[in-house]
């Protein structure tokens, strides 16, 4: 079977029946593709372990795998020897582009948190304070740095993010994460059905390009700001996170404890600043 037949793209075209008042018509429609991605780790001695299975939009899969592993502290920049789609004979052809194997220079990490990621879940069985304590073992608070933003720059980020969402424009069904410079210039943007995946793809892009840490950048997300998104931003060294919707309470706790700027409800000419007000210049 050829790659053209087995590799699924970010959009899927179907036939739908559209009802509008008393009018009925059949037409084609584009949907955001949703497929599972299995992320495997492989060591030089041949041992392998599946660390995650996540539902995602195909595209930038190597970045997604890299960003996820970096965010969970399972690999560091430079720790990856190779990344490839799996070609094991036990996999049917249609599944090969849904399985990514990340080969490490060293052994597979033996971490207690590894097993809980076999199927990604929002229920990890610990409380918020325990999650923050665990994060302190891996990350230090971010330095103040030189990043400075103005309200005018903030107000322009949602429109700039939306303008870069090519797949959303066709489907209306994707989250986005964008990386911006302090002057509002878009550096990179990724889309996915999962907002966490979109952030992982961005972090993976930065890691593979040896751009980490992202100390002088702003992360803009199209949905809400969750603890997971703030964690991924922290590990990547992003000092400021902006969201169109609300943050969660634990996201605010994380931002305040680790010295991050967190902006929510960024719509039109207004927003709420929950943490790190010192990075925003207000006359």
Is 267 marked as binding a ligand?
A: yes
Cα 211 from Cα 213, distance rounded (Å): 6
Is 41 marked as binding a ligand?
A: no
The residue from 86, 124, 139, 271 that is catalytic is 124
Is 268 marked as binding a ligand?
A: yes
Is 270 marked as binding a ligand?
A: yes
Is 86 known to be catalytic?
no
Cα 262 from Cα 104, distance rounded (Å): 34
3-state secondary structure of 195: helix
Peptide bond into 257 cis (omega under 30): no
E strands of 183-256, at which residues? 186-192, 218-221, 240-243
Is 231 marked as binding a ligand?
A: no
Instruction: Kindly report the backbone phi and psi dihedral angles of residue 37, in degrees, each rounded to the nearest multiple of 5, phi listed first.
Output: -130, 120
Residue 203 CB coordination number (10 Å): 30
Q: In this structure, what DSSP letter does residue 137 have?
A: T
List C-alpha distances in Å: 192 to 66, 92, 183, 246: 15, 24, 25, 19
Spatial CA neighbour of 229 closest among 18, 67, 100, 74? 67
Is 118 marked as binding a ligand?
A: no
Task: Enumerate the known binding-site residues.
Answer: 265-270
Catalytic residue numbers read: 124
């Amino acid at each position: 079977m050829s790659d053209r037949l087995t590799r699924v793209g970010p959009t899927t075209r179907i036939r739908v029946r559209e009802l509008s008042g008393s009018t009925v018509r059949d037409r084609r429609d584009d949907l955001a593709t949703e497929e599972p991605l299995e992320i495997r780790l492989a060591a030089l001695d041949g041992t392998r372990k599946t660390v995650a299975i996540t539902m995602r939009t195909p595209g930038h899969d190597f970045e997604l795998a890299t960003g996820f592993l970096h965010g969970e502290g399972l690999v560091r920049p430079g720790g990856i020897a190779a990344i490839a789609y799996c070609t094991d004979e036990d996999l049917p052809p249609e599944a090969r582009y849904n399985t990514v194997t990340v080969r490490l220079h060293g052994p597979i990490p033996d971490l207690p948190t590894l097993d809980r990621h076999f199927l990604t879940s929002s229920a990890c069985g610990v409380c918020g304070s325990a999650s923050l304590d665990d994060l302190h073992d891996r990350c230090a608070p971010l330095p103040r740095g030189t990043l400075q933003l103005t309200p005018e720059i903030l107000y322009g980020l949602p429109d700039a993010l939306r303008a870069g969402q090519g797949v959303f424009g066709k489907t209306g069904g994707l989250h986005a994460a964008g990386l911006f410079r302090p002057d509002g210039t878009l550096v990179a943007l990724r889309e996915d059905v999962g907002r966490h995946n979109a952030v992982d793809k961005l972090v993976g892009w930065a890691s593979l390009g040896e751009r980490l840490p992202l100390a002088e950048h702003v992360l803009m997300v199209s949905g809400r700001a969750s603890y997971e998104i703030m964690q991924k931003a922290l590990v990547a060294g992003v000092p400021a996170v902006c969201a169109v919707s609300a943050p969660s309470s634990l996201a605010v706790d994380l931002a305040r404890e680790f010295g991050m700027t967190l902006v929510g409800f960024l719509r039109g000419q207004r927003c709420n600043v929950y943490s790190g007000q010192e990075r925003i210049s207000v006359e």
